[in-house]
């Protein structure tokens, strides 16, 4: 396809997407999602992933038309809205209360809180964060719009060897670029793949790993596990970290003066914000990372190229705008591999991807052919969702900050109740409720021991598909393992995966050598 034709096709598809996204039911659900996401982002005990996981079962009813005019597009717009809201909402508590509402807002403790408290400019700190988040998200959405179709068209040519190689690459990035010990990532990855293998084998139909239990024949459902790991697990971790008490609070009201100054500060740092947005996008596209790693990368880049390095940690605006633009850009980018290749870029997009399976859709390039309304409606809703989130944030900061005043004794059991509803309602199964509670305890424990949860979740979602492609490739190649290297693309991707797994090994080797040099 020529570039001009490609551009015209993309723009006209996006216009169709806006027509879908602007339907009243979709706008209403986007608004609901964004508000829920902002609330979830503000609450320290609940993250974007758990919020999306808890509400996932409800979207089944929305996708099947329980609301007038609703369909699968409405459902994904709601879930994506929660994600966008949480991306913005997490920063409010970091800046005002020195408590990160979300992992990607941790980095804002360095300069956001000092600007708010020490320099007495909470409004400016919040406005700077929202403005840079909005720009980061906008840049990422534009890149998403113009690259998604190209990636999907390329991916449509993939056979089982290429698809298997892409799965391996996504797991390799989780191991090689993860923040925790790589060997723990391997253990969690394998656990996720093993859990995904429970029940019927999709190729031969044989039973496996169910130990004679009929209730396990259908496999271990992804939803109760994720609600447990993230919803209940986070609440337990939060209970331990904060105890049962109240936090010191700053109040803030965003005035026009703050917003105008934030835009002036943005103009001074436009190169930083735009370049961090692009870096954030590239980082977010890599499976398994998303916004948190990008936020730290963004902070590092902002500090590295700043002329005022000494101001970092004392309320430097670049220390807010740099990470925020990268984090929001990565958050949007994490949906790109999920939609185009069927590989989630972050735990939240893994949960959204599970939603696609539940609604009867197959994530991946085929979506661009068979469900254009769905894909382009989602992409258009990203523009609308961020605009809506930005406006709500500018107007409703005092209200959102008040959420933190809801007492622990009410909000915590309420989150548990909502988690239980979420896990039960998908299959009307009490077994799922107990799976949720059990994985809540397991997730809390794994978190304490610094076992990463992202590889477990991503492997649980992708396990079935990966095994299917592996075996299809073996059947196609008559059992010859060299079939995996039958195309240049599969070979390059597999080689890249090997390099990514070798990175942590090289890192640990250099770490061991350094002290030896010192002592010698």
Partner 1 sequence: MATAAAIVLIAAVAMFDSRAAFSPSAGTAPGDVGSRWYPFWTATLMGIAAIVVAYRAFTTPQAAEGIFAGRESIFSVLKLAVPMLLYATLIGGVGWKDDATDVTYTVIPPLGFYLATALYMGGFAWWLGRYKVWWVALIAVAFPFVIFAAFELGFRVSLPKSFLYDRGIAPF
Residue ranges binding partner 1 (CB under 8 A): 57-58, 61, 66, 181, 183-184, 186-187, 190-191, 193-194, 197, 201, 203-204, 206, 208-209, 211, 232, 235-236, 239-240, 243-244, 407-410, 412-414, 416-417, 420-421, 424-425, 428, 430, 433-434, 437, 440-441, 444-446, 448-449, 451, 467, 470-471, 474-480
Phi, psi of 362 (to 5 degrees): -105, 110
- Choose between 143 and 188: whose C-beta lies nearer to partner 1: 188
Least Cβ distance, residue 52 to partner 1 (angstroms): 17
- Choose between 85 and 443: whose C-beta lies nearer to partner 1: 443
- Choose between 195 and 375: whose C-beta lies nearer to partner 1: 195
- Choose between 448 and 513: whose C-beta lies nearer to partner 1: 448
Q: Give dist(CA 210, CA 511) in Å, integer.
A: 43
Least Cβ distance, residue 476 to partner 1 (angstroms): 7
Least Cβ distance, residue 492 to partner 1 (angstroms): 24
Q: DSSP labels for 243-259? A: -S-----------HHHH
- The widest CA-to-CA distance across the chain, in whole angstroms, is 74
Selection from 326, 355, 318 nearest residue 80 by Cα = 355
Q: Give dist(CA 344, CA 475) in Å, integer.
A: 26
Least Cβ distance, residue 239 to partner 1 (angstroms): 5
Indicate the SS3 state at residue 207: strand
Q: DSSP labels for 155-166? A: HTT--HHHHHHH
Q: Give dist(CA 64, CA 66) in Å, integer.
A: 6
Least Cβ distance, residue 471 to partner 1 (angstroms): 6
- Choose between 76 and 437: whose C-beta lies nearer to partner 1: 437
Q: Give dist(CA 93, CA 75) in Å, integer.
A: 28
C-alpha distances out from residue 21 to 18, 80, 182, 382, Å: 5, 12, 41, 9
- Choose between 308 and 480: whose C-beta lies nearer to partner 1: 480
| Contact indicator for 124, 258 with CB cutoff of 8 Å | yes
Selection from 406, 46, 404, 115 nearest residue 249 by Cα = 404
SS (H, E, C) 308-370: CHHHCCCCCCHHHHHHHHHHHHHHHHCHHHHHHHCCCCCHHHHHHHHHHHHCCCCCCCHHHHH
- Choose between 57 and 364: whose C-beta lies nearer to partner 1: 57
Least Cβ distance, residue 334 to partner 1 (angstroms): 25
Selection from 461, 420, 36 nearest residue 231 by Cα = 420
Selection from 468, 459, 469 nearest residue 196 by Cα = 459
Q: DSSP labels for 32-93? A: HHHHHHHHHHH-TT--HHHHHHHHHHHHHHHHTTSSTT--HHHHHHHHHHHHHHHHHHHHHH
Q: Give dist(CA 62, CA 374) in Å, integer.
A: 14
- Choose between 134 and 444: whose C-beta lies nearer to partner 1: 444
- CB neighbour list of residue 280: distance below 8 Å, 6 or more residues apart: 136, 140, 291, 294, 297, 298, 325, 326, 327, 328, 329, 330, 333
Least Cβ distance, residue 202 to partner 1 (angstroms): 9
C-alpha distances out from residue 225 to 47, 78, 256, 386, Å: 15, 21, 45, 29
- Choose between 62 and 332: whose C-beta lies nearer to partner 1: 62
Least Cβ distance, residue 66 to partner 1 (angstroms): 6
- Choose between 146 and 424: whose C-beta lies nearer to partner 1: 424
- Choose between 131 and 494: whose C-beta lies nearer to partner 1: 494
- Choose between 184 and 249: whose C-beta lies nearer to partner 1: 184
Least Cβ distance, residue 7 to partner 1 (angstroms): 42
Least Cβ distance, residue 338 to partner 1 (angstroms): 23
- Choose between 290 and 463: whose C-beta lies nearer to partner 1: 463
Q: Give dist(CA 431, CA 128) in Å, integer.
A: 46
- Choose between 96 and 458: whose C-beta lies nearer to partner 1: 458
Least Cβ distance, residue 461 to partner 1 (angstroms): 15
Selection from 454, 453, 451, 448 nearest residue 240 by Cα = 448
Least Cβ distance, residue 172 to partner 1 (angstroms): 13
Least Cβ distance, residue 54 to partner 1 (angstroms): 13
Least Cβ distance, residue 321 to partner 1 (angstroms): 35
| Contact indicator for 26, 77 with CB cutoff of 8 Å | yes
């Amino acid at each position: 396809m020529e570039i001009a034709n490609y551009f015209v096709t993309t723009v006209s598809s996006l216009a169709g997407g806006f027509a879908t996204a602007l339907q009243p039911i979709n706008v209403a659900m986007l608004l609901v999602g964004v508000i829920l996401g902002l609330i979830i982002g503000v609450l320290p005990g609940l993250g974007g992933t758990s919020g999306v996981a808890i509400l996932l079962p409800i979207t089944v009813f929305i996708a099947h038309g329980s609301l007038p005019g609703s369909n699968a597009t409405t459902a994904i717009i709601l879930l994506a809205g929660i994600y966008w809201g949480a991306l913005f909402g997490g920063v409010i508590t970091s800046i005002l209360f020195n408590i990160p509402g979300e992992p990607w807002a941790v980095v804002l403790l360095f300069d956001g809180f000092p600007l708010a408290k020490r320099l007495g400019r909470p409004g400016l700190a919040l406005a700077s964060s929202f403005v840079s988040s909005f720009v980061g998200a906008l840049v990422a959405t534009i890149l998403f719009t113009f690259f998604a179709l190209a990636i999907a068209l390329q991916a449509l040519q993939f056979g089982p060897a290429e698809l298997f190689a892409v799965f391996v690459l996504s797991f390799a990035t989780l191991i090689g670029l993860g923040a925790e010990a790589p060997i723990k990532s391997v253990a969690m990855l394998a656990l996720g793949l093993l859990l995904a293998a429970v029940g019927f084998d999709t190729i031969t139909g044989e039973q496996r790993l169910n130990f004679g239990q009929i209730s396990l024949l259908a496999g271990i459902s992804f939803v109760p596990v994720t609600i447990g790991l993230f919803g209940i697990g986070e609440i337990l971790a939060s209970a331990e970290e904060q105890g049962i008490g109240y936090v010191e609070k700053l109040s803030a009201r965003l005035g026009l003066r703050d917003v105008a100054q934030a835009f002036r500060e943005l103009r001074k740092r436009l190169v930083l914000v735009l370049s961090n947005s692009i870096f954030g996008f590239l980082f977010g596209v890599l499976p398994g990372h998303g916004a948190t790693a990008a936020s730290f990368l963004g902070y590092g880049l902002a500090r590295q190229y700043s002329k005022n390095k000494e101001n970092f940690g004392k309320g430097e605006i670049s220390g807010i705008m740099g990470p925020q633009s990268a984090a929001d850009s990565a958050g949007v980018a994490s949906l790109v591999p999920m939609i185009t290749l069927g590989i989630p870029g972050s735990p939240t997009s893994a949960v959204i991807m599970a939603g696609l399976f539940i609604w009867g859709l197959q994530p991946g390039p085929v979506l661009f052919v068979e469900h254009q309304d769905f894909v382009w409606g989602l992409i258009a809703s990203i523009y609308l969702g961020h605009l809506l989130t930005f406006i709500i944030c500018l107007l409703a900061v005092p209200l959102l900050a008040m959420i933190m005043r809801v007492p622990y004794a009410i909000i915590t059991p309420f989150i548990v109740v909502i988690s239980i509803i979420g896990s039960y309602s998908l299959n009307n199964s009490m077994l799922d409720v107990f799976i949720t509670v059990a994985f809540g305890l397991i997730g809390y424990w794994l978190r304490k021991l610094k076992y990463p949860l992202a590889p477990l979740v991503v492997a649980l979602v992708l396990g079935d598909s990966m095994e299917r492609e592996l075996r299809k490739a073996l059947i196609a190649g008559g059992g010859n393992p060299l079939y995996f290297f039958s195309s240049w693309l599969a070979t390059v991707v597999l080689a890249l995966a090997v390099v990514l797994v070798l990175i942590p090994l090289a890192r640990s080797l250099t770490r061991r050598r350094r002290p030896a040099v010192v002592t010698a």
